[in-house]
């Protein structure tokens, strides 16, 4: 019987506007991988390294599965240097050591000393200043305000996210996303583009990016304060 080698998944779909997985989804994916001997690979280049209120997004109670391989980036360098990395589990390393004992690969900028030093400093600051804890705390307050003040607006279809990673879809009321099924089918919705709404929100708030359809998403600085939210 042919078996899959791996299953690659992103923890939160940024291209659709921070669409989270429904509860229990990743547990089911993990079970399938375990059953067929596939490796679970999670892409946390954007949502990892503290962005959603835990150092790794999979540590959230919504996901709560441990990947076999994980990609990281963006927050790893904090914008100060281009850097990314791959984390591998003991399951993978044990397999390698039981075989050749090595992993043959080569990248042009692997082990770049300047980028690695920048990443180390960023991680040190995140730990020393307890920025992941701040992301979690400010994320809860931001969620309350977004759902209280933004979600009821007539041209807002949905507010979704976690920590300091949020998406706001600027759709008409007929396209409000009220259920998990609505969110899963987001890519199939033909949404009107409210250019003036997106422009004003971009000018006056932290929502800087435009995604599929009429969606804005924000990746907010980890040092966000209550005063800034208000």
Q: How many CB atoms are located within 10 Å of the residue 60 CB?
A: 19
- 66 and 163 in a common domain: no
Query: Three-state SS across 166-187?
Result: EEEECCCHHHCCCCHHHHHCHH
Dihedral angle over CA of 30, 41, 163, 176, nearest 10: -70
Residue 67's pLDDT is what?
Answer: 95
DSSP reduced 3-state for 94: helix
Q: Is residue 79 situated within a structural domain? A: yes
CATH at 213 = 3.90.1150.10
- The residues that bridge with 201 in the sheet, in sequence order, are none
- Distance, CA of 65 to CA of 23 (rounded, Å): 12
Q: Are residues 208 and 140 in the same domain?
A: yes
10-residue block means of pLDDT along the chain (230 residues)? 56 64 90 92 93 94 92 93 92 88 75 90 97 96 92 84 87 51 48 53 53 69 89
3-state secondary structure of 1: coil
Domain tally for the chain? 2
46 lies in the same domain as 138: no
135 and 106 in a single domain? The answer is no
Q: What is the DSSP letter of 81?
A: S
| Pair 105, 155 in one domain | no
Q: Please identify, among 128, 143, 167, the residue that sits at the C-terminal boundary of a domain.
A: 128
pLDDT of residue 7: 62
Q: Cβ(159)–Cβ(167) under 8 Å? A: yes
> Domain residues for 224?
131-229
Q: Which two tokens stand for residue 151?
A: 């979600």
The Cα 176–Cα 151 span in angstroms is 10
Q: What is the CATH classification number for the domain harbouring 48? A: 3.40.640.10
Rounded to whole angstroms, the Cα distance separating 60 from 20 reads 11
Q: What is the spatial distance between Cα 174 and Cα 155, in angstroms, rounded to a whole number?
A: 10
- Residues 12 and 119 placed together within one structural domain of the fold: yes
Do 35 and 119 share a domain, yes or no? yes
The tokens 């375990």 sit on which residue?
A: 34
User: Among 102, 128, 154, where does a domain finish?
Assistant: 128
The per-residue pLDDT for 191 is 46
The Cα 87–Cα 99 span in angstroms is: 19
Strands 39-44 and 19-20: unpaired
Indicate if 190 and 153 belong to the same structural domain. yes
In a domain, 1, yes or no: no
Show which of 128, 158, 174 is a domain's final residue.
128
Considering the domain architecture, whether residues 196 and 207 belong to the same structural domain is answered as: yes
138 and 121 in one domain? no
Distances (CA, A) of 47 to 50, 51, 53, 111, 199: 8, 5, 10, 23, 25
């Amino acid at each position: 019987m042919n078996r899959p080698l791996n299953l690659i998944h992103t923890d939160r779909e940024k291209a659709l506007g921070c669409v989270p997985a429904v509860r229990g989804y990743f547990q089911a994916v993990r079970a399938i991988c375990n059953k067929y001997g596939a490796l679970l690979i999670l892409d946390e280049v954007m949502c990892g390294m503290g962005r959603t209120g835990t150092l790794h997004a999979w540590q959230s109670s919504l996901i709560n599965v441990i990947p076999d391989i994980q990609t990281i980036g963006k927050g790893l360098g904090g914008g100060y240097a281009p850097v990314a990395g791959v984390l591998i589990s003991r399951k993978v390393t044990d397999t390698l050591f039981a075989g050749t004992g090595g992993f043959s690969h080569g990248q042009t900028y692997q082990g770049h000393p300047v980028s690695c030093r920048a990443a180390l400093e960023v991680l040190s600051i995140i730990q020393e200043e307890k920025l992941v804890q701040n992301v979690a705390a400010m994320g809860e307050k931001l969620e309350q305000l977004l759902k209280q003040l933004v979600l009821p607006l007539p041209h807002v279809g949905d507010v979704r996210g976690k920590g300091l990673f949020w998406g706001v879809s600027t759709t008409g009321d007929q396209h409000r996303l009220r259920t998990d099924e609505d969110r899963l089918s987001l890519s199939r919705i033909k949404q009107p583009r409210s250019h003036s709404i997106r422009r004003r929100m971009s000018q006056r708030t932290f929502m800087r990016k435009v995604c599929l359809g009429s969606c804005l998403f924000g990746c907010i600085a980890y040092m966000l304060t209550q005063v800034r939210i208000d």
